[in-house]
Amino acid sequence: MTKKIHIRKAEGVWSVRSGGAVLGESSNALELSEEGHDPVIYFPRNDIAMAMLDRTNKVTHCPWKGDANYYSIVNMSSVTENAVWTYENPIEDVAQIKDHLAFVLSDSVKVEQI
């Protein structure tokens, strides 16, 4: 059985903020819709301030997307552990999300269309 995953260009411009700091803005974000989950915005890595992210050892596996690696967000006021994930070598069916980052939404991490 295959899970239905749809990837399309996210309309408009999207931003991601953490602790009041803007981590990035993109007009090239992707929206991934997956059965049973809310849609997720994936930002191109080049549109994110990677200097504010610190790679962690966390890895998870999704049978439909592959292995996800994680980053923590480090800013002046806080560290948000494992708040960012990326599929560096995604399964072929979702190859579009390679070199993109998604964010765990919380009180301190916001993804918004602007």
- Low pLDDT (below 50) residues in the chain: 1
Pair 78, 19: CB distance under 8 Å: yes
What pLDDT score does 75 carry? 84
Q: What pLDDT score was predicted for residue 1?
A: 40
Output the pLDDT for position 2. Answer: 54
Q: What is the pLDDT of residue 76?
A: 79
pTM: 0.94
What whole-number distance in Å separates Cα of residue 99 and Cα of residue 88? Answer: 6
Q: Which domains does the chain have, with CATH numbers?
A: 5-113 (2.170.150.40)
**In the structure, how many helices (H) and strands (E) does the chain have?**
0, 10
